[in-house]
Structure 1
Amino acid sequence: MEKANITLYTVIGNPERIATAIQDRYKEMTQEIKSENGNIALTLVDDTVINFAINHQQDKPDFIASHTAGMANYFASAETQLVELKESVLRQIRVFNCVTGITFEIDNNEDRTSYIINCIYAIANDVNGFLLYPNMQIYTKEGKLLFSIQGESQLTEFIPIGNADLLDMNRPEEAPADTERRLRSIAQLKKKEIPYMEQLRSEALESEVCLRSREEMVKRAAALFAVAVYSEVILSEDSDREKALFYFNKMNDLYGVKSYLTQKETAYIEDPEPEQQTCIQFVWRYECCGALLWAAGVVDDLSYPSEIIDVPVLAAIFWQHKGIQYLLSKGYSRPQTEILDAADLTLRYDWACVEARIHGKEAPAGLDGGIVVERHYAFNWIIGANENADWDEIQPNT
């Protein structure tokens, strides 16, 4: 008989959940199960064996680090038009912390093979996992091709995900203020009939928050606006890089944005022929810009994320002011509590949008998933989530 190999990847705090899922999904056809040091040998009623080798970061950190780095480097070499999706897949690979190798024998009984593979997908569903086949194709738990070494995918977009038990591992308990904030957010979701996960905790509790200064927020907003304006001109019908650079340099003259661009932003501006998808990604940063100006107290309102930001209004704010300090003088220090409330609600909006997308549904209550994920990204940076990560390293988990 031919031997088959499938690998399950996930982000999970307690690997015992995988062992539990294995036992549960195969229980109807299990004759015997042996488990030792993360290795599970499951004997089916036909006397054949399925082997599971569970390797988790908490037990084998070097193995996981080496394995995921090698996997990311391998898929980074794939040529594809799906540039943004590829980058999201690479981010997902880099945060995998549990690798489960699955081996079993294939015979001529197609029903048996289908049963084994269907159970593997059910296990992936139980633990929010992804499956890698020997031909280097990664599949979602729903059985859709996420990405292949040929650069193919059945998806048009993908947002990296993590498991709540991992995200909450080694974190402090919610303080009363955190619990009250979560309940306030849920009350707003209920009013709009937006699905939610009751125990989803914010990405930064009050005890963990490291709020960026108003000046940092405004500088970041100015840089994002400059890059977004550049991108908008590049994407226009009469695309002209010289014209795009004119507007970018005008922003630099007013705000000195070149000195606080990120590494990725600098590389993008210096690229004479950027990919269209990359331009689209950066033009979406208008939404981040709006969230940053609101958090910095420069603008008063943060609208419900159903309609894209009014770019002419945003442009007027920057073109009519003459530098960072002048812009700061027109604003005020928004209370931390207000910023954390908005960040928490945005996280839950994003969870609802991702959940809808996974199940092939429209985002609920008129939410625009693109707007929501950009705001989520901005708020994570503002509140110092992801261990106070730099802008390019933010990971808006849901």
Structure 2
Amino acid sequence: MVNVAVRKGLLGTEKKFQLSYRERAKPSYQISELDSPLTQNLAGMLNFVGDLQSTNEEVKGLLMAKIKTLNFECAVLCSPLVRTMLTGFIEQVIQQLDAIVFAQAKVIIGKSKVQQFLDKNLDLILDLNGKCGIDDLSVHINSQYFDAPPENANEAQLARKVGSEKILKAHEVKVNVQLPVIVAEDEVKLRAPHEVAERVTVLAITTSVAFGGLSGEGALNYLAQYKLQEALTPRERAFLQNPTEELKSQETWKCEGIWTLMWALGVVDELSFPDTLANLNDIPVEQYPIGENKNPRDFIESMTTLRDKSEVLNTNDLYYRMHWACVDARIARQAMKAVHPGVVYERHYALNWLINYRNQPWDEVTCDT
């Protein structure tokens, strides 16, 4: 920590400046252990962001992913006059480091009247009120921390990559041959069938509220009746307690998660190419987890198997590469005509949860590209 105080003349105004710095005990792209004060702070920040409602859930997810990649932290405190003098310098440092800023309310560089996160361009990522001012946030990970060297990839991983690229080319979706292989099959443990069925059931209930079939209070009572309250995530519980129109609109997208997980359970025969929205009406009423005079526990207990792990990973690999193409098109401000980006994102999200990607719970799933 550095402290500087300067006063011009005996009665002059004192100019104060304080700079503190701390870093991780071991550089990483994730928070796997709380081995330093910084990782403890980052873990707290991650939970803090996770509890925020957002007008753009995808950008919120990218912010959470970026927080996990932070390896050092600088805090600057200074008097107003010094702050004005240093603003230009601070902006240059932020830009060069591809940093994010957690700023207090009404600071010079701020974009909100409340606490806020800013990107390297000092544009608003997310504030405490959930307001988001950008459409994308770059998350860069040094390959030495993340990508398995190609020479260590097995034949199945390489074949999966090639197979996905072939499908994308056939549908005229841009291919990035530099993207690495995904995790090997022997390193993956899929979620248990009953856990997947329970997740589908909760999603069916929250989307029913989103579409007006149930009230938030009615959904909470329904969950309590069948002892499913513990299956709710914190964000889902907050939604049911206050289902605003904006949140309802966001929750309707979870139909794609239902469709994807029902495919994993074998209820849906084909996931289908993501160029159109899934139609849950195509799922037979008798095979849907909720409905009139139905006990959702019957559905959960009846789901005892999942699709083969290799098939799930093939699909996850495809959506990983497809999602990259969607992000690339958005950054380039190009229309994505071959697939529906929203459908791709939601299915990739569900698939990452299904394969236990980074052991992330449902609310914290990231879709890295």
Whether TM-score is above 0.5 comes out as yes
Corresponding position: 1:355 with 2:328: yes
Distance 1:53 1:260 in 2: 40
Q: 1:282 to 1:171 in 2, by over 3 A?
A: farther
Find the counterpart in structure 1 of residue 249 from structure 2. 280
Contact 1:71 1:93 in 2 (8 A): no
Q: 1:385 to 1:81 in 2, by over 3 A?
A: closer
Find the counterpart in structure 2 of residue 23 from structure 1. none
Corresponding position: 1:376 with 2:348: yes
The amino acid across from 2:169 in the alignment is: K
The amino acid across from 2:352 in the alignment is: N
Distance 1:397 1:326 in 2: 33
Find the counterpart in structure 2 of residue 65 from structure 1. 39
| Count of residues in correspondence between the two structures | 327
Corresponding position: 1:263 with 2:260: no
Deviation at 1:380, TM superposition (A): 1.2
SS in structure 2 at match of 1:185: helix
Deviations 1:33-83 (A, max 9, x none): xxxxxxxxxxxxxxxxxx9978345169514224435655787898x8737
Structure 2 stretches of 5 or more lacking a match?
Answer: 1-18, 28-33, 77-86, 111-115
Q: 1:356 to 1:56 in 2, by over 3 A?
A: farther
The amino acid across from 1:337 in the alignment is: S
Superposed counterparts of 1:207-222, under 5 Å: 207-222=186-201
Superposed counterparts of 1:135-154, under 5 Å: 135=107, 138-141=117-120, 144-148=123-127, 152-154=131-133
Superposed counterparts of 1:68-147, under 5 Å: 68-69=42-43, 82=55, 84=57, 87-88=60-61, 91-92=64-65, 94-99=67-72, 101=74, 117=91, 121=95, 123-124=97-98, 129-131=99-101, 135=107, 138-141=117-120, 144-147=123-126
Deviations 1:301-357 (A, max 9, x none): 11111211113223734159873278649xx75322211111111111112222222
Contact 1:185 1:341 in 2 (8 A): yes
Distance 1:309 1:164 in 2: 36
Aligned residue among 319, 323, 333 for 1:346: 319
The amino acid across from 2:314 in the alignment is: D
Q: Percent identity?
A: 22
Corresponding position: 1:291 with 2:265: no
Contact 1:64 1:97 in 2 (8 A): no
Find the counterpart in structure 2 of residue 35 from structure 1. none
How large is the RMSD of aligned CA atoms in angstroms? 4.7
The amino acid across from 1:181 in the alignment is: R
Distance 2:64 2:301 in 1: 38
Distance 1:169 1:52 in 2: 35
Contact 1:55 1:100 in 2 (8 A): yes
Corresponding position: 1:385 with 2:357: yes
Find the counterpart in structure 2 of residue 310 from structure 1. 279
Contact 2:56 2:132 in 1 (8 A): no
SS in structure 2 at match of 1:147: strand
Q: 1:263 to 1:186 in 2, by over 3 A?
A: same
Find the counterpart in structure 2 of residue 31 from structure 1. none
SS in structure 1 at match of 2:173: coil
Superposed counterparts of 1:8-19, under 5 Å: none
Distance 2:232 2:51 in 1: 23
Q: 1:303 to 1:218 in 2, by over 3 A?
A: same
Deviations 1:169-196 (A, max 9, x none): 7999322101110121122223333234
The amino acid across from 1:163 in the alignment is: I
Contact 2:200 2:261 in 1 (8 A): yes
The amino acid across from 2:364 in the alignment is: E
Corresponding position: 1:190 with 2:203: no
Find the counterpart in structure 2 of residue 24 from structure 1. none
Contact 1:212 1:383 in 2 (8 A): yes
Aligned residue among 197, 205, 226 for 1:226: 205
Structure 1 stretches of 5 or more lacking a match?
Answer: 1-50, 104-112, 235-239
Q: 1:122 to 1:167 in 2, by over 3 A?
A: same
TM-score (normalizing by structure 1)? 0.64
TM-score (normalizing by structure 2)? 0.69
Find the counterpart in structure 2 of residue 241 from structure 1. 215
Distance 2:154 2:229 in 1: 39
Distance 1:143 1:74 in 2: 20
Deviation at 1:290, TM superposition (A): 0.5
Contact 1:204 1:384 in 2 (8 A): no
Distance 1:75 1:292 in 2: 26
Deviation at 1:289, TM superposition (A): 0.7
